[in-house]
Amino acid sequence: MKSQTPKTFSFAEAFCSIFGHQLKVSKNVTEHIHEYQCAKCGMEMTDTANGILAQLTPKFKETNKYLANFYKRRRRSRQRHFANAS
């Protein structure tokens, strides 16, 4: 069984739990998907497929990284295609 260490008290987390997070965009993954970070407590959030904000977990980080690479490759191929057509 794992022993849990007691969590330290943070005024920033208490402030955010009462008044809400002050989210700022920290990374644009695509035009519609962004990663956010709270200016007060540092909590990271991201958009989900349903358009709901969720806490940024390692699985979401990996998914966002894959989407960003896919989106960049897609945009590059479209730019080359249209550049050659003119």
**Residues 37-74: tens digit of each pLDDT:** 999 899 999 998 888 999 999 999 999 999 999 999 98
Average pLDDT, the chain: 85
Q: How many CB atoms lie within 10 A of CB 74?
A: 11
Report, as an integer, the average pLDDT of 15-37. 91
- Paired tokens of 46: 């991201």
Q: Which residue has the tokens 């998914």?
A: 63
* 13 pLDDT tier (thresholds 50, 70, 90): confident
| pTM over 0.85, yes/no | no
- CB contact burial 33-52 (16+ within 10 A = b; e otherwise): bbbbbbebbeebbbbeeeee
pLDDT value of residue 43: 92
